[in-house]
Structure 1
Amino acid sequence: TTPIYDEWVRNNYELQVWQAYLKMGNENRHWAKEVVQRTKRRDDLINSRFVQKKINYLTTVIAQANATVTDLQIQLGTYWTLTVAQSTAQTNAQTTAELTTQLMLDRMGQTTAQTTDQTVQNPNLTTATNRDRLEKSILRYIQHCTQHVKRIAENRIQLAKAQMEEFKALEDFQQIASPLQWNIHSMLKPKMKLWLTKSKNLQIATKRVEYDLPPKFIGNTQLAFKIDESIISQEEAQNLYDQMRQVTKDYRLCAMTLYVQTCTREYELLT
């Protein structure tokens, strides 16, 4: 059930995002940039239908996951009930045999120092407790492993709200700005967009160096060619292979260093 719970949690976070988008569009007459990029329009009716369709899809998927989990819970409960019942029957049979043997020994005048205590538990109660405990453990595990999904969903909602405030501020500025001010705005807009792009590129390049994840145009370059080991000894061939890997490693290091320097320089020139 773990993959089903994982999908259920992720879809619930996604559902919260789209519900926030719908609320924002209906109450504030502003649609998130993510919605506009999907529909290519700012029409209220089109965007509302698109978001509602997305919400309906996620709701259906979540309901299906709930039904699957419920069915698996019933199957697990049935299995545990049968297992506990069989275990209880075996324990009762063993206890009955021991009591019968002890009674026969007592009648024959023999004594025993051993006593048997039996505590009979309700199989249904034990099954429900174990099932609930297992379900809570799985949910805690999934929630711990999907914390980044929760943060991403929250950031998407916060970003949409910030974009709404920015868009409304732009509309207010457009109403009160003089022609000269609007021309300055039109001139600075592409430069600001370029600056944001270069800033993002620099951050990504820095993180790639930090986590040793070079981009494809660097990571896909690898020095490797076949050596005829029927002529060259195995030890010498291994030495050559090690040199190939070292050349590839040195190339990636130099290439990433130059790549980060270029991104940094582009960012500095626009700052």
Structure 2
Amino acid sequence: MQKWFARLAAPIVFPVLASTAAAQSFADFCPSGDPDTEAAVVGYVTDPEAGTVIPGATVAASWVQDEARQRLEAQVNIEGLYTLCGLPKDVEVTLRASLADRRGEAVPYATAAPLAQADLVLSLTGGSEVRQEIGSLSAGGSRARILGSEVIRGEDLLDLPEMSVYDLLRQHQLLKFDRVSGVGEVVMLQSVTLTSWGSSRFQGLEVRVNERREADGVNTLREMSIDDVSRIEILSRTEASARYGGDGYVGALVITTHRR
């Protein structure tokens, strides 16, 4: 059966005073919603190091339904509060907060109740190293296969929690690197290892989205969710040169999205 991706319209965020949030009902947050068939999640996004809320962040709920990845997003208001309306009842979703290149930990939540509160943490002062969220990389099963392949299909990504393409690459077994930086249209990976390349101190990659070269590949990788991806190919220098031409010194990361 063909699998596809569906992005739902972003819900409206209803401003609610922080001091009264816990006392509100489903109808207060989602006046047009149906509590018999829908669920809502509200909560605060905070920075534990600074001890403050984070207005302007984005909270995304991601889940798999009808063999497709579904997604809802809401903006955090000036008081640090977010509201996600329109979630399906009795489904496990993944909640995650993000702001620019900072992404919080994925938080699982089961939508058993019409309205619940889930507070999220997003560190703005700590490092942005990815957490090992998907278990042991040496474990068997589809997750290990995804992280050991140079071609990743969108339907395989349904087995992973929502994350950025950058986070996915940081956990990849064949493409290992310590740091990443941008040099024009080329993403420079430092201390990279790929089975078809061998090891080198530096390796350049072109980032192509739907066959178009990205002018800022680093931000593209950090900002693009795997929910948007239907296929990722990691091309060695030889493979990239054969497909796109060039001098054979730069590999390629070729991303095909659902919305081409």
* Superposed pair shares fold, TM > 0.5: no
TM-score grouping bracket, smaller chain normalisation = under 0.3
TM-score (norm 2): 0.21
Structure with greater helix percent: 1
TM-score (norm 1): 0.20
Higher relative contact order (CA 8 A, sep 6+): 1
Structure with greater strand percent: 2
Larger Rg: 1
